[in-house]
């Protein structure tokens, strides 16, 4: 049975991947593209003034854990934190206030 399942691994990411069409899997793929976008922003705007916010922003996906409703809750809290971290990253003045 495990050999059969291992052979089906080649179907992942194709149109024959029936589990890849679920809302949860679509959301996970969106999280990946959102993270890549955040890293691009960090790389293009990194300075010594916003380094701490950049580190926190890059480490944000580490907070997303669990399955089902637990994962949804951690994603919601991470997205809320991402908004404030992006604001700190974009504005070094906010960075100085947060350090105090």
- 83-96: per-residue pLDDT in tens? 999 999 998 765 55
For position 13, what pLDDT does the model report?
A: 81
Note whether residue 56 is domain-resident: yes
Q: Which domain holds residue 95?
A: 22-99
Note whether residue 73 is domain-resident: yes
Note whether residue 5 is domain-resident: no
The answer to whether the CB of 99 falls within 8 A of the CB of 52 is yes
Note whether residue 29 is domain-resident: yes
Note whether residue 6 is domain-resident: no
Task: Indicate the number of domains in the chain.
Answer: 1
What is the model's pTM? 0.76
Note whether residue 1 is domain-resident: no
Note whether residue 28 is domain-resident: yes
CA distances from 23 to 2, 32, 83, 97 (A): 26, 14, 23, 39
């Amino acid at each position: 049975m495990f050999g059969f399942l291992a052979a089906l691994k080649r179907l992942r990411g194709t149109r024959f991947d029936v589990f890849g069409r679920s809302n949860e899997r679509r959301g996970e793929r969106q999280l990946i593209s959102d993270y890549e976008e955040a890293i691009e922003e960090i790389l293009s705007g990194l300075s010594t003034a916003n380094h701490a916010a950049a580190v926190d922003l890059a480490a944000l996906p580490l907070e997303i854990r669990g399955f089902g409703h637990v994962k949804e809750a951690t994603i919601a809290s991470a997205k809320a934190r991402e908004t404030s971290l992006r604001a700190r990253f974009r504005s070094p003045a906010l960075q100085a206030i947060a350090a105090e």
